[in-house]
Structure 1
Amino acid sequence: MPQTPSDAVAPAGTSTGQPAKAAGKRSRRRTWRVGGLAVLLVMCGGGAAIGALYVDTVPPPDELVLPESTTLYYADGKTPMAKLGTENRTILAYEQMNDAVKQAIVAAEDRTFWTNEGIDFRGVMRAAWNNVTGGDRQGASTITQQYARIAADLKGVTYSRKLREAVMAWKLDDEHSKEEILGFYLNTVPFGRGAYGIEAAAQAFFGKTARKDASRESQLMPSEAAVLAAMVKQPEANPDDPEGQPGYDPKRNDKARQNSIDRWRYIRDGMVALGYLTAAEGADLAYPDTVRDYDPRAGQSGLDRPTGLVVNHVLSELRGTEPFKDRPFDYVRNGGFRIVTTVDKRAQDAAEAAANIRGEKAPEVVRGQPKNWQSALVAVEPGSGRVLAYYGGDDGLGADYAGWYFDDEGNAAGFGQHPPGSSFKVYDLAEAVRQDISPKQRFDSPATKEFPKSGRTRDTAAGPIRNSGSAACQPECTLWEATVASLNTTYFALTEQLGVPAVIDMARKAGVESMWANERGKPEPVRVALGETDAASRFSTEVGIGQYGITVQDHANGMATFAAGGERAQSHFVRSVSKGDDKIYEEQLTRTDVGLNAEQANQLNWTLRRVEAAKVPGWDAAGKTGTWQAGKSTTQNQHAWMVGYTGAIAAAVWLGTKDGKPLRTKDGSYDVFGASHPGRIWQQFMTDAAKAMELNPDDYRFGEPKFPGETPSAPPSAETPAPPTASPEPADTPRPTPSTEPTPEPEPTRTPKPTPSTRPTTPPAPREVAPRA
């Protein structure tokens, strides 16, 4: 391949250096041309271009504000979680680029590059003259002009843009060497597929590199470089006519492939004409058939894994902060930010292992179950609100069963609200001890009981409240016994005694920010922010036994509050955001008191520690199970829960179905309860996460209650079973129809449209805007 001694990519017979005399002539010639150009600018009214002559400067690529990838990290700040950005760019020094890419781009875009003065004067004059005469404003642009246009973000084909571009190109050519300019250009020009610069393009189209120090097999060859050079003419299809003007990506469609081949031949011929290839080499050069299929997610990574759902929550959370409020949706993605999340890699791995019921590491009881089964798990750090682990599904680009978030357009997306059943009783219990009702206080606890005040009698459509199971203490049980046995009659009576507003207020203070209410005339429950005025008026007494949907994330945060002794922290996903050396955002750790004193918190923990499913070897652990039936069935469950905490980790686990059908095991059984399946997931996660995070259980022991006036029995140890219930965990009472329905307030703007929790539904497609049960 012919090459000059002074420059490997300059055409044969040319030189990038010039004698002093020749340089002087060139300088005088440039002065005359610039003077003529200035006169023409005045004649054509090109004030902006005149300003460019004296004011504008063209920065090099490393100073351009071009789109950059944003990277999310786990909490350690070192381990990448995901890479974002619709545009991908990797800068290479000119000296690092191989000859093939330099030669191909010159042959494609500017064959006089090495000898021209940075400006196509004829094209500029033509554009200016056509402005006066009303002719075509288009005109040829040199590589130098094209770079000036990119650097100055000059858009459109107006004559003033062309003139300003020319002036800036002239200044660029005067201040930088040809090699520098070509390097600038190759590092910034768009090649399509979101690739900016030759290195990103090499990876996107061929899975290769443009680096000349790489192995021959991994470097771009001349035929491949010509394919990429062809892309510059039209990097993307015309959005108004994608079929008619598809561009030059050979994998887009047949017309684009033919466009690519035709321009590739033009570039090959140019490489021969410029002496980069001999005639024989040009004749032997073949159009490559190794172009990769187009992957619209190229340049991004980690989004298809479970943590892809974390990315959605991170972006949603940031849009609510001052540095990112009202910014375009791609501001974070393409901003080159470094985002450190709260998610601990060790806890996340444990969550994915336990909750992925189709994986090999999940508890045996949930492995190999029907394909319509779905689980979700969220873990929160007590006292800080940091989300340590988040599993809303195995597909990060699919439906989110653990929570909801605002998408790029401000719409609610997710699939994460489910009726919590008896697991919601933790908030009744917390409010009860706050009101000084002792867990040892006795309650009337019959198998069936009428509640006229709440419209639950034999004469109403909803019928009386009943227990599906039983306990040895009946018909009169202490509150702690009723908690362990999940007696609905006891807790319905307790909710009436406490008052629905008080129970809801405790749930809100603990961390349940939203519940989904049934409203007359609406087929699907509506999300209600519990902080709204009169939010409690939209719910009936059935709230106390878990009728109304909540999210797995909120439930986990509620557990974290109780683990912290009643100190609630806001659950969140972002620890910090930085760019370069600048810290853009840092988490704000605050706590609010839910109103429990130390004795009351100890009584709450003491009671929930007696739940058999809440056992974590070696740890003080507390928790509660829950189920909600399918429709009005008394034998089939649609939702099963296990929620609980140690002093170090709080977690909520939900198990349900994607299609709203009852939970039926692979053996055909409907015996699916909170303790039997989600309880095993919860126990495995809590054990494995604590071990992986090297947490010492002795640092997180619970205090013991005093029970004024009594000597309490010893609390159960992590190895000592709590008093057993007489039957498996009962299913909660079928969802009632309240005898009176409050007049709903208008649904708040930008709240998610929830899903029915009373009838089977088909889940939405990934990212559908509506959490569904």
Structure 2
Amino acid sequence: MGRAEDRRARQGGGRRRAAPKDSAERSGIRRFFTWKKLLGSFFGLCLLGMAAFVAMYLFIDVPKGSAAAVEAQRQSNIYKYSDGTVLARQGKVNREIVDLAEVPKPVQRTFVAAENKSFYKDAGVDFKGTARGLINTLSGKGKQGGSTITQQYVKNYYLEQDQTVTRKLKELVISLKVDRTTSKDDILAGYINTSYYGRNAYGIQAAAQAYYRVDASKLTVEQGAYLAAVLQAPSQYDWAVATDTGRELVKQRWAYVLNNMVEENWLDSAKRDDMKFPVPKEPKGAPGLEGQNGYLWDAANRALQKQLVAQGTASDLDEAEKMVTAGGWTITLNIDKKKQTQLEKAVKSQLTSKLDAKKRKVDADVQAGAVSVDPKTGRVVAVYGGVDYLKHYTNNATRRDYQPASTFKPVILAAAVEEEAETQDGTPITADTIYDGTSKRPVRDNGKKVGFAPPNEDDVDYGDVTVQTAMNKSINSVFAQMGVDVGMDQVMKTAGDLGMDTADLQAVPAQTLGSMGASPMEMAGVYATLANHGKKVTPALIKSVEHKDRTVEIPDAIGDQVISPEAADTVTSVLTGVVDDGTAKTSVRDNPARDGQQVAGKTGTSDCNRSAWFTGYTPKLVTSVGLFGEAAKAGTTRCEKDKPAVKIKAFSQVTLSGAAGGGRVNGGGFPAAIWAAYTFNAMGDVSKFDLDTEQGSGVQPTFTPPPTEEPTEPTEEPTTEEPTEEPTTEEPPTEEPTEEPTEEPTEEPTDPIEPTEEPTDPIDPPEDGGGEGDADEGPVVP
């Protein structure tokens, strides 16, 4: 035996040991997964990928032209009323090809600086960006930037817009071939002439006209930098419709473009420092979109674009916009032709015919918007977007930049009833609950002041009132306290459930005044949900969509039960009091065309009288009407006579006060008058609410005389931070809101709610004494 064998024998006790089981298993695994095999597999995959790419390169040819673009230029979109009659034809691609030599060289470079600084040096492909795009497509993340100008030109000119792996691979191969066979100037010209800039503008010439009313040859560097910046997100960056965030983002990208030009020595830094952002001009509508047609066209397009994104056909709104503007769509709207005409006539007879901008400057600042919805189906049957789409581009029916004011108060009551909320002293909140309606009463939470004490309109003190009376008279101080009693988080949740966009809103007491932004379309949906006994109604403008290459699913406008029928019906019942004995009675209750129709609704007038609303409904029809003060041109404005004038730009929010020669424009004035003139003609047969509640004016006779002997039994203390030592008497069972108990000593007049000496002109009705006015000017902190 050798020494090695002898040593092993001694160590092993004279016998050989078997290898451990797990060691044997590892040895087996290693036989299959050695580093050599892994490395070989990797190189094998690389070779396969290279072979596949070579095959694609050999077999994929550069198309002769963009069949999609040629086809798009032949097609129009057709828009129809619900009965199938044609409303408008629109959608021919707005494109005019210009030679690159017609575009100033510095403007050409703005696009290179924005999208692809290495454009003049690269081979036409960004492999990292393409790989990232492929990964995002496979993982479902959608659109991904990072492509070169050549790749974007190839996508625009030769390929469809679909986000698929096949399309991206084709884009890669064709871009390499195009870069080899086409000059950089021709590629850049193709890119700026085929890109979509928003405003239905394809190509730099159409974009220059759409945004700055000049030809491409007259563009400045600043304007070119904006057009280059807007390409990244036309829907978000179009200055005319962008949010504050969108405007800030496009200004940042505009600066990024110019800074890149300085970095590439294409722009002098001193000149760059002197450059100011070139605000684009307001959009102009195309022929055929006069009057309300343009607003319906615009709203239908936006609704279709959102649906294309929602169902995954488009990765984002910009891609969806390209699909829609490419043409070939037949879009049938839910608009009822007869009701549409009736709504237009109502606005003209009750408002626009009374405005005269030559006599009164403020009359030029008045904008109206309205949306009418069938609460049983969710169909939008009529829309008023403004006086004329070609004269005022912004759609007043869908804009969200004005406060809904006191039309938000029913949401607070809905949250209270739904959550079975209680006042600070533990009393359940119902239509009969007593609140302190003193103006500027500090709001309290668990005995502590929250730093919010809103005034009522005209600073009127109402004393102890029921919730029903507070809704009738739109008393700010009551609903501010109620919001805190319910919990502002819950109030905002209920608002979202009913259909308001509350994603970016803070749950603070000031929201009880309706200080957020909302549109007539949005508020019509909220009230339609109430009218539909708490089942969610999302207003649906589109009835059906047809396209030879795409299928569009139209979602059901009626959704889930978002609040209980009892909560919704209680709010409806209470809102009948606003019409029968509150801020809307002059225009609605006493209208001779009413013919006994039961109506629920709420007025609203925002801070500084910048907006005025009436949103009301019958069992069959919900309509929201808003008036908005929008400066027709730059100048000065003042909120009230005793406040200083401030400088404003065109389209700034300004007061409506003085419109048509009257005083303050309240929700019970023009908006309610428009609502009544339209609804009582369009509603059909007279109908009654079927309510599952025992609360509110809708289930009690509003005008029944009070008992001959008023109750003398003192009520529970009202929910106020400082209980009074004087007992208050119960409200009569008829809830007559205009009479104060005569036994209670008070320095107020016996009828402070409705002074008889005030005029009854619909411009400034006396009954709109609720909490609207200038309540949002800032909380009064004790």
TM-score, with structure 2 as normaliser:
0.50
Tell me if 1:79 matches 2:73. Answer: no
Aligned sequence identity (%): 21
Helix, strand or coil at the partner of 2:553: strand
**Matched residues in 1 for 2:668 and 2:286: separation?**
43
Helix, strand or coil at the partner of 1:483: helix
Helix, strand or coil at the partner of 2:321: coil
Gaps spanning 5+ residues in structure 1: where?
1-46, 89-148, 163-192, 195-234, 245-294, 405-414, 515-527, 530-534, 631-636, 741-773
**Which residue of the other structure, out of 464, 469, 476, is the alignment partner of 1:481?**
469
**Matched residues in 2 for 1:733 and 1:487: separation?**
13
Match of 2:458 in 1: 468
Contact 1:382 1:650 in 2 (8 A): yes
Contact 2:435 2:466 in 1 (8 A): yes
Helix, strand or coil at the partner of 1:595: coil
**Which residue of the other structure, out of 486, 501, 508, is the alignment partner of 1:540?**
508
Deviations 1:419-463 (A, max 9, x none): 122211111121223226321222222244122549997x97x65
Q: Higher helix share goes to which structure?
A: 2
Match of 1:726 in 2: 754
Match of 1:658 in 2: 630
Match of 1:340 in 2: 332
| 1:131-280 pair list within 5 angstroms | none
Most deviating of 601-610 and 723-732: 723-732
Change (3 A) 1:453 1:582: closer
Q: What is the deviation of 1:158? A: 8.4
**Matched residues in 1 for 2:561 and 2:508: separation?**
26
| 1:558-573 pair list within 5 angstroms | 558-573=526-541
**Matched residues in 2 for 1:702 and 1:297: separation?**
42
| 1:57-456 pair list within 5 angstroms | 67-86=74-93, 301=289, 305-322=294-311, 324-326=313-315, 327=319, 329-355=321-347, 359=348, 362=351, 370-396=363-389, 398-400=392-394, 402=396, 415-434=399-418, 435=420, 437-453=429-445
**Matched residues in 2 for 1:561 and 1:668: separation?**
37
**Matched residues in 1 for 2:307 and 2:487: separation?**
37
Helix, strand or coil at the partner of 1:550: coil
Contact 2:370 2:624 in 1 (8 A): yes
User: Which one-letter code corresponds to 2:303 in the other structure?
Assistant: V
**Which residue of the other structure, out of 541, 551, 556, is the alignment partner of 1:588?**
556
**Matched residues in 1 for 2:381 and 2:508: separation?**
34
Q: What is the deviation of 1:75? A: 2.1
Deviations 1:151-207 (A, max 9, x none): xxx999989999xxxxxxxxxxxxxxxxxxxxxxxxxxxxxx99xxxxxxxxxxxxx
Deviations 1:206-241 (A, max 9, x none): xxxxxxxxxxxxxxxxxxxxxxxxxxxxx9999999
Q: What is the deviation of 1:543? A: 1.3
Q: What is the deviation of 1:648? A: 1.6
**Which residue of the other structure, out of 479, 501, 511, is the alignment partner of 2:499?**
511
Tell me if 1:639 matches 2:628. Answer: no
**Matched residues in 1 for 2:82 and 2:610: separation?**
35
Match of 2:598 in 1: 620
Helix, strand or coil at the partner of 1:577: strand
Contact 2:444 2:484 in 1 (8 A): no
Deviations 1:457-485 (A, max 9, x none): 7x97x6564453658xx422111111101
Q: What is the deviation of 1:541? A: 0.7
Change (3 A) 1:492 1:572: same
Tell me if 1:707 matches 2:679. Answer: no
Q: What is the deviation of 1:364? A: 6.2
Q: What is the deviation of 1:658? A: 0.7
**Matched residues in 1 for 2:671 and 2:402: separation?**
14
Q: What is the deviation of 1:381? A: 2.2
Q: What is the deviation of 1:69? A: 1.2
Change (3 A) 1:363 1:682: farther
**Which residue of the other structure, out of 544, 548, 551, is the alignment partner of 1:576?**
544
Deviations 1:371-423 (A, max 9, x none): 1111111222213333222223233354435365xxxxxxxxxx432112221
Contact 2:308 2:552 in 1 (8 A): no
Tell me if 1:681 matches 2:674. Answer: yes
**Matched residues in 2 for 1:432 and 1:323: separation?**
38
Match of 2:26 in 1: none
Change (3 A) 1:362 1:296: closer
Helix, strand or coil at the partner of 1:641: strand
**Matched residues in 2 for 1:542 and 1:71: separation?**
45
Match of 1:220 in 2: none
Counting matched residue pairs gives: 463
**Which residue of the other structure, out of 447, 458, 478, is the alignment partner of 1:490?**
478
Contact 1:653 1:678 in 2 (8 A): yes
**Matched residues in 2 for 1:58 and 1:500: separation?**
59
Change (3 A) 1:687 1:450: same
Contact 2:611 2:627 in 1 (8 A): yes
Match of 2:574 in 1: 607
**Matched residues in 1 for 2:737 and 2:444: separation?**
33
**Matched residues in 2 for 1:621 and 1:431: separation?**
22
Q: What is the deviation of 1:737? A: 4.7
Contact 2:441 2:454 in 1 (8 A): yes
Change (3 A) 1:714 1:706: farther
Match of 2:45 in 1: none
Contact 2:72 2:92 in 1 (8 A): no
**Matched residues in 1 for 2:676 and 2:58: separation?**
73
Q: What is the deviation of 1:495? A: 1.1
**Matched residues in 2 for 1:363 and 1:617: separation?**
26
User: Which one-letter code corresponds to 2:86 in the other structure?
Assistant: T
Helix, strand or coil at the partner of 1:675: coil
**Matched residues in 2 for 1:298 and 1:483: separation?**
45
**Matched residues in 1 for 2:595 and 2:320: separation?**
49
**Matched residues in 1 for 2:65 and 2:515: separation?**
64
Deviations 1:547-597 (A, max 9, x none): 222222211110111111111122232222112598543333441212223
User: Which one-letter code corresponds to 1:714 in the other structure?
Assistant: P
Tell me if 1:696 matches 2:737. Answer: no
**Matched residues in 1 for 2:343 and 2:443: separation?**
41
Gaps spanning 5+ residues in structure 2: where?
1-54, 96-157, 160-173, 183-192, 195-204, 219-282, 421-427, 632-652, 705-733, 739-752, 756-765
User: Which one-letter code corresponds to 1:391 in the other structure?
Assistant: Y
Match of 1:32 in 2: none
Contact 2:344 2:384 in 1 (8 A): yes
Helix, strand or coil at the partner of 2:578: coil
Contact 2:431 2:696 in 1 (8 A): no
Change (3 A) 1:325 1:443: same
**Matched residues in 2 for 1:549 and 1:682: separation?**
21
**Matched residues in 1 for 2:58 and 2:694: separation?**
86
**Matched residues in 2 for 1:562 and 1:602: separation?**
7
User: Which one-letter code corresponds to 1:650 in the other structure?
Assistant: V
The Cα RMSD (Å) is 5.1
